[in-house]
């Protein structure tokens, strides 16, 4: 095979280097295309454009494969824990016992928030969306800590520990702010997920014991969400970071990008769809039929995936935990009943089976979060907590490469040059 691809642009031939990834992916290096031909590529949504090379996550949508640093998501979800996976993504290899204990200890040392941050929480209106609070508080961290160079490894490590350690506290306090309950401080003798659940659901007036199955399911969900290649929010973190914006500001921008209903808000959209079905009388088959009707605007949320053309490997893993959580709490919530009926109807319907429109991770995660007692507007916050190590890993990788500041081109389609007219003559 040639190491170059030749394209002809209005009679001018241009040779473009072919870049091959470690899993056989092919790409055309177009970095010199404009200089050689005065032409650029046009790719709305960047669906066929590689913005970088990366050694963090491999995703094969056709085969339903997801690997972090070469390790399959199935093995990591079965045998690992979230902090171990965080270390893997950020530093490149699975930690030794000593390395993991040191990482856990350093993260745990930074679970507390500066008391002055409470004043920022108090300034938000009662119904402020927790994703807005999350993004704001993460960005505000840059005002509490000295700026640092990405070349200073010890400073980068400290920022990593602070972000991973403080995010559960930031997230739980955003819920407490809206619920009107007192803020609950972290208890560092608990593990990562149990500590977060305690800050979410305990109150000073009485004891609270974290259900073990809840902490385990949340740990797996965080692992499944920890990274997903060059998605919207990760690309945003890289783009903002390419301007040499600090890590806190870059992560804050990623949280804002994740907020959108087409990205991290998808599991929230699942529950809103279930409420729509419930409010209409709860006839699941009616809405299954509507989803198949080309003349209907209704679509089933949480089925199929933009990248995975076969099945979402994360959904196969989390379905088991969804069943366990529902068994523990008892399916007494009408929305959860509808979800189970919808899952069964779609999996048995030829229309969905032929098109491989299987329930995805957003469908099952929304069900689990609802069963655990999380309010719907916290679902995307939970997504952000899981995605944090992936964002950090990409920010570090971007700075350690020869990446330039992000600056996409455009094809201008506006008016050609016009003469200015005085306002009295218009």
**Alpha helices (H) in 180-295, listed in sequence order:** 192-201, 212-225, 232-241, 247-258, 266-279, 284-292
**Residue among 205, 207, 186 at smallest CA distance from 197:** 186
Mean pLDDT for the stretch of residues 200-204: 95
> Where are the domains positioned within the chain?
4-50, 66-259, 266-372
**Residue 68 per-residue DSSP state:** E
Tell me whether strands 71-72 and 65-68 are parallel, antiparallel or unpaired. Answer: antiparallel
Nearest to 276 by CA among 262, 286, 265: 286
Decide which of 330 and 331 is more confident.
Answer: 330
Indicate if the alpha-carbon torsion angle 338, 341, 344, 348 is positive or negative: negative
Q: Do domains 4-50 and 266-372 have the same CATH topology?
A: no
Residues 250 and 245: their CA atoms lie apart, in Å, by: 6
The DSSP annotation for 12-55 comes to: EEEEEEEEE-TTS-EEE--TTHHHHHS-----GGGTT------S
- Helix (H) / strand (E) containing 251: helix 247-258
Tell me the per-residue pLDDT of 277-297, one tens digit each, with 9 for 90 and over.
999 998 998 998 898 888 888
pLDDT digits 0-9 by tens, 214-264: 999 999 999 999 999 999 999 999 999 999 999 999 999 999 999 988 888
The topology under which CATH files domain 4-50 is Rubrerythrin, domain 2 (2.20.28)
CATH class of 66-259: mainly alpha
Question: Measuring CA to CA, which residue among 381, 378, 146 is closest to residue 247?
Answer: 146
The predicted-structure confidence for 6-21, as pLDDT tens digits, reads as follows 888 888 888 889 999 9
In degrees and rounded to multiples of 5, residue 226 shows phi and psi of -60, -30
pLDDT at 115: 95
Q: Is the pLDDT of residue 309 over 80?
A: no
Distance CA 124, CA 175 (A): 12
Residues whose CB is less than 8 angstroms from the CB of residue 283 and which lie 6 or more positions away in sequence, other chains included: 277
Q: Which segments of 373-413 are extended strands (E)?
A: none
pTM of structure: 0.91
What pLDDT was estimated at residue 344? 85
Angle among Cα 19, 73, 265 to the nearest 5 degrees reads 90
Active-site annotation, residues: 305, 362
- Token pair recorded at residue 395: 């920010």
Sign of the Cα torsion 183, 187, 190, 191 reads positive
User: Which CATH architecture fits 266-372?
Assistant: Orthogonal Bundle (1.10)
């Amino acid at each position: 095979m040639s190491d170059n691809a030749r394209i002809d642009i209005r009679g001018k031939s241009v040779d473009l280097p072919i870049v091959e990834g470690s899993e056989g992916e092919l790409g055309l290096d177009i970095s010199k295309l404009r200089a050689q031909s005065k032409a650029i590529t046009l790719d709305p949504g960047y669906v066929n454009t590689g913005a970088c090379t990366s050694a963090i996550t491999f995703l094969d949508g056709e085969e339903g494969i997801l690997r972090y640093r070469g390790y399959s998501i199935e093995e990591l979800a079965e045998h690992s824990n979230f902090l171990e996976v965080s270390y893997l993504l950020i530093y490149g290899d699975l930690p030794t016992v000593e390395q993991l204990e040191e990482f856990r200890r350093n993260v745990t040392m930074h679970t507390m928030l500066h008391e002055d941050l409470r004043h920022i929480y108090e300034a938000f209106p009662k119904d402020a969306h927790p994703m807005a609070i999350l993004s704001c508080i993460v960005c505000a961290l840059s005002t509490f800590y000295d700026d640092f160079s990405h070349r200073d490894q010890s400073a980068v490590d400290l920022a990593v520990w602070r972000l991973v350690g403080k995010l559960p506290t930031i997230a739980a306090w955003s819920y407490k702010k809206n619920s009107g309950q007192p803020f609950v401080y972290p208890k560092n003798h608990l593990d990562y997920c149990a500590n977060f659940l305690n800050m979410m659901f305990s109150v000073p007036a009485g004891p609270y014991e974290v259900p073990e199955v809840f902490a385990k399911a949340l740990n797996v969900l965080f692992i499944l969400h920890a990274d997903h290649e060059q998605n919207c929010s990760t690309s945003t973190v890289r783009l903002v970071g390419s301007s040499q914006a600090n890590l806190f500001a870059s992560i804050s921008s990623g949280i804002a990008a994740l907020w959108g209903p087409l990205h991290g808000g998808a599991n929230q959209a699942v529950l809103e769809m279930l409420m729509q079905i419930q409010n209409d009388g709860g006839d699941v088959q009616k809405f299954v039929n509507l989803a198949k009707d080309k003349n209907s605007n209704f679509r089933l949320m949480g089925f199929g995936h933009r990248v995975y053309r076969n099945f979402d490997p994360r959904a196969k893993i989390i379905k088991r935990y969804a069943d366990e959580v529902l068994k523990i709490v008892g399916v007494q919530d009408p929305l959860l009943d509808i979800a189970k009926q919808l899952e069964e109807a779609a999996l048995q319907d030829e229309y969905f089976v032929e098109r491989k429109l299987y329930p995805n991770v957003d469908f099952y995660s929304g069900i689990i979060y609802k069963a655990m007692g999380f309010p719907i507007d916290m679902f995307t916050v939970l997504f952000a907590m899981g995605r944090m190590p992936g964002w950090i890993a990409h920010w570090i990788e971007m700075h350690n490469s020869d990446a330039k500041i992000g600056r996409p081109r455009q094809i201008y389609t506006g008016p050609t040059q016009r003469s200015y007219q005085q306002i009295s003559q218009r």
